[in-house]
Amino acid sequence: MSFGKVAVLMGGKSAEREISLMSGRGVLQALRARGVDAHAFDPAERDLCELKRDGFARCLIVLHGRGGEDGTVQGALEVMGIPYTGSGVLGSAVALDKWRTKMIWLAGGLPTPRYRILGARDDWDAVARDLGLPLIVKPANEGSTLGLTRVTAIAQLPAAYELAANKYRDIALAESFIAGAEYTVGILGDTALPLIRIEAPQGNYDYQNKYFSDDTKYLCPCGLPANEEKALQALSLEAFRLLGCAGWGRVDLMRDAAGKPWLLEANTAPGMTGHSLVPMAARAAGLSYEDLCVKILEGAHVA
């Protein structure tokens, strides 16, 4: 299949710029290895209008976070009529917003941890009583666990709120902590890839352990019986589609001690680095990194 001139959108201005550049370099090399006329394009350094001027036929988006997964780039590409990978404007915008993601999942009857939106004048004792301890505080519109704090004592709540709401200039969301095993489910088209179980040091799957630590363990096969894995794959596909997401992505979830799943979030342009999980799951399904990148590019569209 001839793709024409392809832009790999990477970098950007979000807090995840460093990881996006790492992802983009990997994707660029993979596409070129498959004979694709692929070029790096960083929206932080070039105007998006140059995509049309320079004759790009389609875009593979590996921009992470705001400006890449929030529907803004997708909308610009829609206006220019340039096909792009992943979810459209609506699915991208909703999935990045963890607050509205939760509202949609709950309205659809899907399981997600209890939560509340925090304010600077909140009664922290009441928050702890409501959600229990430990609990998680995080920005509502950031990815890669940026600004996330696991709170084990009421006295930690003000600082956790300050980090999520002020440093990241975001709405701060608190949710009940689910004690159990953490899994991630890669989505490729209409298929849920094999589950990966994540075992991070001290159970802390933070930014450092996600991208730079060799101590985090990723188990694929995940160790679940086949019927239980299929049930989690089906739940993840349903959760992804309910948000309006399409193309490719990833759904993260926990499974508590009783075996009940709890949906955490959906990612519409997940990492494609050496530590990233969608390429790992694709390999388990018999798809190389290069072939995965080509498959993602084949799904480019204008909604």
Looking at the annotation, which residues are catalytic?
16, 144, 211, 250, 252, 265, 267, 271
285, 193 Cβ separation under 8 angstroms: yes
Q: Answer for the pair 99, 117: CB distance below 8 angstroms, yes or no.
A: yes
Task: Judge whether 144 and 159 are in contact, CB under 8 Å.
Answer: no
Calpha distance 41→212 (Å, rounded): 24
Phi-psi region of 4 (alpha: psi -120 to 50; beta: other; left: phi over 0): left
Q: What whole-number distance in Å separates Cα of residue 240 and Cα of residue 231?
A: 14
Residue type, 153: A
Structural contact between residues 215 and 236, judged by C-beta atoms closer than 8 angstroms: no
Closest CA to 302 of 132, 74, 112: 74
